[in-house]
Structure 1
Amino acid sequence: MAGEPTKPGSGNDVRKADSPDLRKAGSLPEARPSTSEDIAAFVAKAHAMSPHRAGARGRLVFALDATMSRQPTWDMACALQADMFREAASLGSLDIRLVYYRGFNECRATGWISDSAQLARLMGKIGCQGGNTQIGKVLSEARREAVAAGVRAVVFVGDAMEENADALCAKAGELGLLKVPVFMFQEGNDAVAEQTFREIARLTGGAWCRFDPGAAAQLRDLLRAAAAYAAGGRDALLQLAKSTSGAARLIGQMK
């Protein structure tokens, strides 16, 4: 991501994690509050870049909470991410941009990745660290990419929410204007997280689903369903819903 460098540890940076060594790079600050004119221009530009145009590759932002409590699920996601590519390969093509946060104000994003082995290598280099959630940065990054490169869907996997819910919902609303659904996959039963995750999904036309801690089969179904949507759209998700519960859970909530 181009732009003026920010100081390490500042509250607004999403740093680029390039393979193979996850080097730091410059980043953009989070967007200022948008005027109606800003939003109109932003939507017009995004429509011109629409990922749903003929011949476009499917693009999915895959966002993970990498704080300390997430290590078991991070390892599970590493093992399952290839299933997303396999599902997408049966429908067309898929590029994935990994975004994750951990530690003290550390939030990073990879470039677009079209190979499951490359994504697995990157994820294998990342260890979870203690810290607070940074979901706002994830949503801001998804918004920037929706305008710059086109994004069909966002997947978020996490178990907590420690931010201002109204601020997160405002960012989700902008993704909703761009018709970028956010699939919020929650591990566990945190009630505060559930309330906000459900609202983010609703505002974007996406879906919220809970999976049990350590339930690889449940998460696999959800990730496959999200990949199917990103690669083939609603029709592909409807087709998959005939055979998997994960896809049926998503399509049942989407507008």
Structure 2
Amino acid sequence: MSGGRDNSKSDGDIAHSGENRSLPEQQPSTSDDIAAFVAKAKAMSPYAPGRTGRLVFALDATMSRQPTWDMACALQADMFREAASVGSLDIRLVYYRGLNECRASGWISDTAKLAKLMGKIDCRGGNTQIGKVLSEARREAVASGVRAVVFVGDAMEESVDDLCVKAGELGLLKVPVFMFQEGRDAMVERAFREIARLTGGAWSRFDPGAAAQLRELLRAVAAYAAGGREALLRLSRNDSGAAGLLEQMK
């Protein structure tokens, strides 16, 4: 994605009430917080038929991701199209970049609007903030329900144990995280696979040379978010991407 775009005001419409919403700093959980969270998790249903599916689409927008950012922008449209065949889908865009910048949009049900928002974001150098992404997904899962999380990134510079705790919390809420890894860093792969395992999700490579496969995988995630496991099962009968995700989710 071109770094020449002026983003000083352009992405103001990606957050609630026209203001760009930064995600808060992470705070340690107290024992009371954890007990309340576990009780809430046990009481929640992982899937409510008839409700609009909600999917958090999270992206690493640091400078190393610049060559494949536009590819991610194009593939998101396929998620909406697939979801439309089984139900309805709202997507919340979350991204991080630069020095401690991590932002989230409101819920979006229009593929053209999401594409426009993503097109206004340029990649900037900085460290990973995967912990904030997982915390945001947990907050939304408790507040309004999230059926799945997609994360696309190529690095992991945080404590893997801390990330696994947050992943475990999403697992209790029955929110699978689908981790798409760009590149072949072995340490990153181990961390991403563990996050996927703890949440009941799946891991896959984000390979620019395999656009067709990626399209199948993201369509499968969207089908799951919109229609639950049954929708994914139906799709898997004729879709290798869906079949692969379903196998990992077992």
TM-score normalised by length of structure 1: 0.87
Tell me what 2:183 maps to. 188
Change (3 A) 1:47 1:152: farther
> Do residues 132 (structure 1) and 101 (structure 2) align?
no
Pairing partner for 1:57 from 33, 52, 55: 52
| Mapped contact 1:188–1:213 kept (Cα < 8 A) | no
Q: By how many angstroms is 1:132 displaced?
A: 1.1
Q: By how many angstroms is 1:191 displaced?
A: 0.5
> Do residues 148 (structure 1) and 139 (structure 2) align?
no
Give secondary structure in 1 for the equivalent of 2:14: coil
Q: By how many angstroms is 1:194 displaced?
A: 0.2
Tell me what 1:12 maps to. none
Tell me what 1:119 maps to. 114
Unaligned 5+ runs, structure 1 = 1-14
Pairing partner for 2:14 from 2, 18, 23: 18
1:68-90 deviation line (CA, Å, top 9, x unaligned): 12122210111111110110000
Q: By how many angstroms is 1:217 displaced?
A: 1.5
- Superposed, 1:82-93 pairs within 5 Å as 82-93=77-88
- CA–CA distance in 1 between the matches of 2:34 and 2:63? 36
| Mapped contact 1:64–1:101 kept (Cα < 8 A) | yes
| Mapped contact 2:21–2:103 kept (Cα < 8 A) | no
The residue identity in structure 2 corresponding to 1:32 is P
Give secondary structure in 2 for the equivalent of 1:85: helix
Q: Which is further off, 209-218 or 101-110? A: 209-218
Tell me what 1:7 maps to. none
Q: By how many angstroms is 1:212 displaced?
A: 2.0
- CA–CA distance in 2 between the matches of 1:207 and 1:168? 16
The residue identity in structure 1 corresponding to 2:180 is F
Q: By how many angstroms is 1:225 displaced?
A: 0.9
Pairing partner for 2:193 from 198, 201, 208: 198
Q: How high is the sequence identity, in percent, across the aligned residues? A: 76
**Alignment coverage as a number of residue pairs:** 240
Q: By how many angstroms is 1:33 displaced?
A: 2.2
Pairing partner for 2:75 from 75, 80, 104: 80
- CA–CA distance in 1 between the matches of 2:121 and 2:226? 26
Tell me what 1:211 maps to. 206
| Mapped contact 1:46–1:150 kept (Cα < 8 A) | no
The structure, 1 or 2, with the larger RCO (C-alpha pairs under 8 Å, 6+ apart) is 2
- CA–CA distance in 2 between the matches of 1:148 and 1:211? 30
| Mapped contact 2:220–2:245 kept (Cα < 8 A) | yes
1:178-230 deviation line (CA, Å, top 9, x unaligned): 11000001122110110000000010011111132343212211111110110
- CA–CA distance in 1 between the matches of 2:22 and 2:219? 32
Tell me what 2:164 maps to. 169
> Do residues 33 (structure 1) and 29 (structure 2) align?
yes
- CA–CA distance in 1 between the matches of 2:39 and 2:209? 42
Tell me what 1:241 maps to. 236
Give secondary structure in 2 for the equivalent of 1:163: coil
Higher helix share: 2
1:97-144 deviation line (CA, Å, top 9, x unaligned): 000011111111000001101101100100111111110110011010
| Mapped contact 2:237–2:243 kept (Cα < 8 A) | yes
| Mapped contact 2:54–2:145 kept (Cα < 8 A) | yes
> Do residues 223 (structure 1) and 218 (structure 2) align?
yes
Change (3 A) 1:140 1:111: same
Q: By how many angstroms is 1:25 displaced?
A: 3.7
> Do residues 99 (structure 1) and 94 (structure 2) align?
yes
- CA–CA distance in 2 between the matches of 1:26 and 1:102? 12
- CA–CA distance in 2 between the matches of 1:31 and 1:92? 36
| Mapped contact 2:53–2:146 kept (Cα < 8 A) | yes
Q: By how many angstroms is 1:249 displaced?
A: 1.6
Change (3 A) 1:142 1:20: closer
